[in-house]
Amino acid sequence: LPRPRSVFLCLVLQSAEPVRVLVTGAAGQIAYSLLFGIAKGDVFGKDQPITLILLDITPMLPVLDGVVMELQDCALPLLREVIPTDKEEVAFKDLDAAILVGSMPRREGMERKDLLKANVAIFKSQGAALEKYAKKTVKVLVVGNPANTNCLIAAKSAPSIPKENFSCLTRLDHNRARSQVAMRCGVPATQVKNVIIWGNHSSTQYPDVHHCKVNMAGSDLACFAAVKDDDWLKGAFISTVQQRGAAVIAARKLSSAMSAAKAICDHMRDIWSGTPEGEFVSMGVYSSSNSYGVAEDLIYSFPVHIKDKQWKIVDGLAINDFSRGKMDATAAELVEERDTAVTFLSA
């Protein structure tokens, strides 16, 4: 007699090797919103067992113990083990995926170069730990800000891991852009596709809808035709997406957590499972050999397709003068950040 599906699924879960997933800054508010989604199968698959490794600084270990208790109390069938630690040699060992959320936040009176210097030290150390302990196939997502430059420092500090294995989070900005267009058109966000975030995860980023499609009444329309308000799309829309993080902080008195966690899940799920045919998403990736004239040796947000856990920049999109100016401005900021950070890297 054929086995029931539940028995088959049980056998699959028993035989599948758990993926080892690290989350840094694991006692923080983004991780608190993120960990449940990973542990219940929203990211790596509904039949993929998980080992979660949670890294934070030593003073946060008591809080981390509480997070571990809550994960245990969820009684999640995919969660095989939870390992809280403050030691890099434990946290980075044999990783399949690393989600680097923890970073030094900007404090009152802190200059941007001081922020960069503090984060270079963190991500140089974590890159070296990836190099020494993780699998060479590890997929690394940097969330902690300044995310693009932190990602570049981590990649430079792990020379034997392919640069293509590193990316930074601009999916939150991508999701914000989709949502703004969807609300303007009165459709669900799922009916808006192929928005692009170019450049830095900062207020210079460029949310671009020149290649975006909106499904209305069963037909895909160009975004400008669907919205019918060019001034809004070239003005308030862009500034709203650029400044959305600051607006959330002003309202909540805390930075984005729930939406950031959702974006992290979206980003890593697409790396693991791929993007739908004909659609692309935004990710901060290594700029080498791009067709858009972006300087080499940056982590810059591009539109990408993903297949077999490999991203590929979407080539050949037409870029008008309006877009070119904004793409160049955010690239210039990234070059300046990189050059400042690299001086600290060699110190």
Annotated binding-site residue? 143? yes
> Left, alpha or beta for 317 (phi > 0: left; psi -120 to 50: alpha)?
beta
Helix (H) or strand (E) run with residue 133 in it: helix 112-133
Annotated binding-site residue? 176? yes
Q: Enter the tokens of residue 260.
A: 């950031």
Annotated binding-site residue? 106? yes
Residues with Cβ within 8 Å of 100's Cβ and at least 6 positions away in sequence, in order, are 22, 24, 25, 123, 126, 140, 141, 142, 143, 144, 150, 154
Annotated binding-site residue? 112? yes
> Left, alpha or beta for 220 (phi > 0: left; psi -120 to 50: alpha)?
beta
Annotated binding-site residue? 144? yes
Q: Enter the tokens of residue 14.
A: 């028993």
Candidates 174, 201, 211, 267; catalytic one: 201
Mapped onto helix, strand or coil, the DSSP state of residue 285 is strand
Annotated binding-site residue? 171? no
Assess contact for 180 and 208: CB atoms under 8 A: no
Give the whole-angstrom CA distance, residue 229 versus residue 227.
Answer: 6
Annotated binding-site residue? 284? no
210 catalytically annotated: no
Mapped onto helix, strand or coil, the DSSP state of residue 62 is helix
Q: Which residues are annotated as a binding site for NAD(+)?
A: 56, 119, 143-145
Q: Which residues are designated catalytic?
A: 201
* Annotated binding-site members: 56, 106, 112, 119, 143-145, 176
- Binding-site members for substrate are 106, 112, 145, 176
